Amino acid sequence: MSARPSSIDLSKRDLTLDLARVFCVLLVVVIHLLEVGVGAGPHGIVVTRPLEHQWWFDGVTWVMQIMPLFFVVGGFAGMTAWRNLRRRGGTAADFVRNRVLRLAQPALPLFVFYVAALGIATLVGAPPALVASVAVGAGSPLWFIAAYTLCQALLPALATWHERNRWAPLAVLLAGVIIVDVLRYTVPGHLDFSYAYADVHVTLDGDTIGLLDMLFVWPLVQQLGFWYADGWFDRRRWWQLALLGLGAWATLFPMVFAGPYSADMLTNLNPPTLPLVALGLAQACTLRLLKPALTGLMRTRGARGIVFLAGTRLMTIYLWHLPIIIALAGLALLIPGASPTPGSAAWWWSRIAVYVLVLGLLFALSLLVGRWEAPRELGPTPPIGVVAVCAALTFLPTFLEIELFLSLPLAVFGAVCFGIAVLLLGRWRGARQTAASPRSSAAVAPDPAS
C-alpha cells in the first residue's frame, strides 16, 4: 500500500484545529491509562478502574469528556474538504469513498490483530472471564469508527442542507435527540414484542433505543463544526462566546440533577445523549476563545513538530493505545515490584512513566502499521452503491461492538468487513474516472478528526 504525501498550503490551514485534535487524542490516552488497573488478587488477575473510584471523577468528566470537540473539529474539516472537493469537480461518492477508506484502512490491521490475539488466548485455554474482560476493555474505543463513519457518510447531504438553511438542521437534529432520550428514559426496563404468525421475540430496552441517537447527537455536534467553518464563531465577541459557552455548560446541571442523565459524562457517551450536545457547544466556544493563544503557540517550532508528528499517527494512537496499555499492565505483573497496587499512591505516580512508555511504543508501532493510515493517490471512484456498501461494512462491526462487545467472532467479522471495504474502495478499476478521482487524497485536506 503505497502512500504519496499531499502538498498542503499551511498558510491557509487553521493549525489550532490540528492542535485541538492532537490534544483530544492524547487526553483520551491519559484517561484510559488511569482507567486500567491490573493487579493480582486472591483468585487470579483482577482488572479494576481506579479513576472511576475517585470522589472527584464525575466533576472532572465535565471537562475531560472531549469527544464532542473531536466531532466539532471533524465537522469543520469535513465541510472545508467537501467544499474544496466540489470546486475540483468531485462528487459525494468521491468524498465518502476517501473518508471511509481513511477509517477502514487503519482499523483493518487492528481487527486482524484481535483475531490472532483472541484466537491464541482461546486455544491456550486462558480463563474465559479474563479474556472477555480484556476484550471488552480493548474494544471500547471502536465506537468512534461507527459514529464517525456515519457522520462522514452523511456529511455531503448535511452540508448541502446547512448551506440552504443553517437553522433547520440544528432544529431537526436537536428534536431527534430529545425524542430519542425521552423514549429511552421512559421505557420501563424492557419491552418484549411477540409476533402472532411467528415465534419471534424482540426485547427493547432503554439503551437499545438510545443507540438511535447516533443518528442525531454526533451529526448535530458535527453541524457546529459547519458553523465554525462558516466563521460564525469568529464573528462573535469574546464575551458573547464566554456567555454562550458558560450557558451551555450550565445546562448540564438541570439535565443531571433534575433530569435522567448521569453526572459521569463518560457514561453519557454510549449511547450518546443530550449532554454531549451541550458539551460540544461549550467546547466550540472555548476553542474559539483560546484561538489567539493557540495560534501563538503553533508559531513555535516545538509545538508544530509535536503536532505534525502526532497528527500523522492519530488513528494509530487512538486505535492501538489500549492494547498496548493492557499488554504493559500484564507484563508488569511478571516483573517483581513493577506493578503497584491499582489506586495506590505508587500506582498514580507510575502513570507518568507508563504514559511516556506507551507513547514511545505507539510511535514504534506506527512505523509498522502507520502506512495503513497514510492518505494515498486513488484511482477511479466506485459507483455510489459500492461506496455505500463499503460505508456500511465499516460501520457495522464497530456498531455491533457497542452492543455485543468485542469477541473472537466479532473480530473475525470485523476483519472480513474492513478487508472487503478496503479492497473495493482502494482497488476499484471498473468506474469511470471523475475529475477529482485521480488525486482524492490531495483534493481532500487531511482531516483533523481522522
pLDDT tens string 119-154: 999 999 988 988 998 999 899 999 999 999 999 999
How far apart are alpha carbons 223 and 167 in whole angstroms? 10
Show the low-confidence residues of the chain (pLDDT under 70): 1-12, 42-43, 188-204, 375-377, 427-450
How far apart are alpha carbons 110 and 405 in whole angstroms? 15
Beta carbons of 71 and 151 less than 8 angstroms apart = yes
Expressed in angstroms, the distance from the first to the final Cα of the chain is 18
Say what the pTM is: 0.89
Distances in Å between the alpha carbon of 287 and those of 17, 293, 382? 9, 10, 37
Distances in Å between the alpha carbon of 208 and those of 205, 244, 267, 390? 5, 32, 15, 24
The pLDDT, as a whole number, for residue 208 is 85
Which residues lie below 8 Å from residue 325, measured CB to CB, with a gap of 6+? 29, 32, 33, 36, 354, 358
DSSP letter for 266, please.
T
Which residues lie below 8 Å from residue 109, measured CB to CB, with a gap of 6+? 369, 372
CB atoms within 10 A of CB 26: 17
- The grid coordinates listed for 162 are 446547512
Which residues lie below 8 Å from residue 219, measured CB to CB, with a gap of 6+? 150, 151, 154, 158, 173
Please report which residue ranges of 312-407 form alpha helices under DSSP H. 314-333, 345-369, 384-404
The pLDDT, as a whole number, for residue 356 is 97
The pLDDT, as a whole number, for residue 435 is 40
User: Any bridge partners for residue 46, and if so which?
Assistant: 39
Residue type at position 354: V
Burial class of residue 280 (count of CB atoms within 10 Å of its CB; 0-12, 13-18, 19+): buried
Buried b (16+ CB within 10 A) or exposed e, 374-387: bbbebebbbeeebb
**Tens digits of per-residue pLDDT, 162-215?**
999 999 999 999 999 999 999 999 876 555 555 545 555 556 677 888 999 999
Strands 198-205 and 190-195: antiparallel
3-state secondary structure of 190: strand
The pLDDT, as a whole number, for residue 12 is 65
The pLDDT, as a whole number, for residue 3 is 41
DSSP letter for 100, please.
H
Burial class of residue 49 (count of CB atoms within 10 Å of its CB; 0-12, 13-18, 19+): middle
Phi-psi region of 62 (alpha: psi -120 to 50; beta: other; left: phi over 0): alpha
Q: What would the DSSP string read from start to end of 135-174?
A: HHHHHGGGHHHHHHHHHHHHHHHHHHHHHH-SHHHHHHHH
Strands 37-41 and 190-195: unpaired
Beta strands in 127-273 (DSSP E): 190-195, 198-205
The pLDDT, as a whole number, for residue 45 is 79
